[in-house]
Structure 1
Amino acid sequence: MRIQLMGVAAALTVAVALTGCTAGGTQAAVGISADATNPSPPSPAESLPGADQLTSALLTPSDLGPAFTVQPSDTASPSAGAGQATGCSQLTMLMNQAQTASPSPSRGPGQDAQVVLAGGQTGPFVGEFLTARPAAMLDQRYPQAVNALKSCQELNLPTGSTQINFKLTNVDFGSPGSVAKRMDATVQGVPVNGYLAIDRLSPNVAFVYLYIQVAGNSSQAATVYYHRAILKADAALGLTTPSSAA
Structure 2
Amino acid sequence: MSSSTTLPESIKQVIIHTGNILSLNGIIGKPSQNASEELVESIKITLNDGNNLENSLEKFVEVMRKNDDLLQKMSGVDRKDLKIGAKLFLNNENADAVNQALLNIFQALKTETIDNLIVSYNDIKTDNEESSSSFVLNKIKSIWNILENYTKENATNRIIHLGVADLDEEQFRDLYAWATVKPNIIQINLASCCVVPPTLQEFCNQNSIQLLTHSDPTEILPVSSIQNLFGDKNALKLFWAIRFQIHIKCRGVLTSKGYIVNLCDNILEE
TM range (shorter): under 0.3
With a CA cutoff of 8 Å and minimum separation of 6, indicate the structure with the bigger relative contact order.
Answer: 2
Larger Rg: 2
